[in-house]
Amino acid sequence: MPIPRILFCVPLLALGLFLPALGPDLATPAAGTVGMAHEVFTTETLTVHQGATLTLVNNSRWMHTIGPGRDGKLTDNAAVPLAGRRLMQTNDVETTGKWNTPGTYYLTCSVHPEMTVKVIVTECGCCSNGSCQ
């Protein structure tokens, strides 16, 4: 009598849910970067100058799909310099392009809807081209 496939699928699925939590602690992200724990960014709000970039670091063992949007709903926003959606497990560090347009923006994780960070881009009046860099 053949063994039902479900007997193999259920244990593998359960293992996939809990296995990432096992293992030694991961390193804390470096200063100036935005870390990602299991279901949260390491900061809720951050301010950057116009022309600056952000570095996102997945310091967890969990998959994150990061992009512009809020509450897990990814949207398109041309002013957010994060091209497309970024899978933050295959590449644990991602640096955005330059934040050129002053305003308030949000980055979210489509896998963890409660994971949203507010990015405030301040205008830089020190240079004629509007960039503090």
Q: Name the least confident of 15-19, 47-51, 65-69, 121-125.
A: 15-19
Higher pLDDT, 124 or 26: 124
Distance separating alpha carbons of residues 2 and 128, to the nearest angstrom: 74
Query: Does residue 19 lie within any of the structural domains?
Result: no
Supply the CATH number for residue 71's domain: 2.60.40.420
The answer to whether residue 63 scores a pLDDT higher than 90 is no
In a domain, 108, yes or no: yes
**pTM here?**
0.74
Continuous H helices in the chain: 6-18
Position 94 scores a pLDDT of: 87
Domain with 36 in it: 27-122
In this structure, is residue 50 part of a structural domain?
yes
Flag whether 110 is in a domain: yes
Position 46 in a domain: yes
Tally the domains of the chain.
Answer: 1
Percent of the chain with pLDDT over 70: 74
Q: Within a domain: residue 105?
A: yes
